[in-house]
């Protein structure tokens, strides 16, 4: 039982990382109708920024965290201007390829700057484990859960209720009407990229101490996050979070109880089952076509 609970915590922890990346996916998809294939690399960029701030510049770990997230905000603007903005009036295909090219670019740039060798990233708390009534829990997984909870609370309690959040929602639902109502649509889209980059960067920073940080770390995370957003119901923020947590738990339990080599398969088997049995995901996506 203790073992099971430990697995649950690490499953939820890794799932929270997927959830943060998936949330970024979904927000960008809703705002700009773009499936951003570079979202995983954004997490990787976040992790490396943290390494620069905390290891290379020897900043206090919390200060480094803030600096890295600030860096992600600037990165989000650059990403939007370089990858999305020139193609904003094009069909989905060139935009997808553009984000794919950006992901290749980021990965290779990271490899050029930081080298291909994995680097380790310090955790936010120095303590490794904490004992809770006979169960030994990893502090890092608990940290991930706490930070994710803060982001989610911010999303629903602050952002969604603010004017900014309502403008984001209006942009997501109907750009033309939003524009007519005076919502600065282009700005809202840029803001969404910034916010999603911060989410993705946070995911990278949080997962860094568990795995090593390396240029290729983004791909797997992105694929899982993508699966999470579909399972939850594409375009649905709650769905992205629930889907991410679900995938984290299932693959952790699957690896422990069924088979370790096929660890990465569980998410996709689940995904394919979902696509065939309930293609609109747990929470559904609003799709309508008018003749």
Partner 1 sequence: MRFLRYVPWAFVVIGVVFIPPLVGHNMYYAGLTLEAATWGLANLGLTIILGYTGQISLGQAAFFGIGAYGAAIVAVHTHSMWLGLFAGIVLTTFFGFFIGLSTLKMGGHYLAMVTIGFQTLISLLLNNWVSVTSGPDGIVGIPRPQIFGISMMQNVPFLYFVLTILVLVGAGVHVLRRFTWGRALRSIRGNELAAHVMGIDVFKTKVMAFTVGAGITGLAGGLFASAAMYISPGLFDFNQSVSFLAMTVVGGAGSAVGTVLGTVVLTLLPEVLRFLQHIYLVVYAIIVLAIVLGMPGGIWSVVEKWWSRLIPTTRPELNAHPVRFGEPTDVGEPLLTLKGVSKFFGGLKAVDDLDMTVVGQEAHALVGPNGSGKTTVLNVVTGVYPISSGSITLENHNLTDLPSHRITSYGITRTFQNIRLCNEMTVLDNVMLGLHRHRKSWFLGNMVSSPASRREQQMFEQKAWQALTYVGLAERGYELAANLAHGQQRLVELARALVAEPKVLLLDEPAAGLNDSETASLVVLLQRLKSQGSTILLVEHDMSLVTKVADNLTVLNFGHRISQGPVQQVLSDPAVLEAFLGREEGEEVAEAGS
Residue whose CB is less far from partner 1, 95 or 123: 95
Three-class SS of residue 282? coil
Closest distance between partner 1 and the C-beta of residue 104, in Å?
4
Give Cβ neighbours of residue 217 (< 8 Å, ≥ 6 apart): 40, 43, 44, 47, 204, 207, 211
Check residue 286 for interaction with partner 1 (CB under 8 A): no
Query: 100 has which bridge partners?
Result: none
Nearest by Cα to 50 from 259, 204, 263: 204
Q: Are 45 and 201 in contact (CB under 8 A)?
A: yes
Check residue 120 for interaction with partner 1 (CB under 8 A): no
Please list the alpha-helical segments (H only) found in the chain: 2-32, 39-50, 61-79, 92-114, 139-153, 163-173, 175-180, 185-207, 217-232, 237-257, 263-277
Stretch of 150-158, 165-173, 182-190, 265-273 lying at the interface with partner 1 (CB under 8 A): 265-273
Residue whose CB is less far from partner 1, 130 or 272: 272
Q: What is the contact mask toward partner 1 in residues 90 to 119, using x (rule: CB under 8 A)?
A: xxxxx-xxx-xxxxxx--xx-xx-------
In this structure, the chain runs to a length of 291
Nearest by Cα to 106 from 220, 195, 226, 214: 214
Check residue 272 for interaction with partner 1 (CB under 8 A): yes
Closest distance between partner 1 and the C-beta of residue 77, in Å?
17
Check residue 262 for interaction with partner 1 (CB under 8 A): yes
Closest distance between partner 1 and the C-beta of residue 124, in Å?
31
Applying CB under 8 A, the site for partner 1 has a residue count of 45
Joined together, the tokens standing for residue 61 give 């770990």
Stretch of 78-86, 129-137, 155-163, 179-187 lying at the interface with partner 1 (CB under 8 A): 78-86
Residues forming contacts to partner 1 in the complex (CB under 8 A) are 29, 35, 37, 82-83, 86-87, 90-94, 96-98, 100-105, 108-109, 111-112, 219, 223, 226-227, 230, 234, 261-262, 264-265, 268-269, 271-272, 275-276, 279, 289-291
């Amino acid at each position: 039982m203790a073992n099971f609970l430990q697995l649950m915590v690490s499953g939820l922890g890794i799932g929270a990382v997927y959830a943060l990346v998936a949330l970024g996916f979904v927000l960008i998809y809703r705002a700009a109708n773009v499936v951003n294939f570079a979202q995983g690399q954004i997490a990787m960029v976040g992790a490396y920024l943290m390494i620069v701030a905390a290891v290379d510049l020897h900043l206090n770990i919390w200060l480094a965290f803030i600096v890295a997230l600030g860096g992600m905000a600037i990165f989000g603007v650059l990403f939007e201007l370089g990858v999305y903005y020139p193609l904003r009036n094009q069909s989905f295909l060139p935009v997808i390829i553009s984000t794919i090219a950006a992901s290749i670019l980021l990965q290779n740039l990271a490899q050029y700057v930081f080298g291909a060798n994995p680097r380790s990233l310090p955790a936010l708390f120095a303590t490794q484990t904490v004992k809770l009534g006979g169960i030994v829990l990893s502090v890092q997984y608990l940290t991930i859960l706490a930070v994710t909870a803060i982001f989610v609370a911010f999303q629903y309690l602050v952002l969604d209720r603010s004017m900014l959040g309502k403008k984001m929602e209006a942009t997501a639902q109907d750009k033309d009407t939003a524009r007519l109502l005076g919502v600065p649509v282009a700005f809202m889209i840029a803001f969404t990229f910034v916010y999603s980059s911060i989410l993705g960067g946070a995911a990278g920073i949080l997962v860094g101490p568990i795995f090593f940080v390396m240029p290729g770390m983004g791909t797997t995370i992105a694929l899982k996050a993508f699966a999470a957003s579909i399972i939850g119901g594409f375009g649905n923020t709650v769905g992205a979070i629930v889907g991410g947590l679900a995938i984290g738990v299932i693959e952790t339990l699957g690896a422990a109880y069924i088979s370790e080599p096929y660890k990465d398969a569980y998410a996709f088997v689940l995904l394919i089952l979902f696509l065939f049995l309930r293609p609109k995901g747990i929470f559904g996506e609003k799709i309508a076509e008018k003749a």
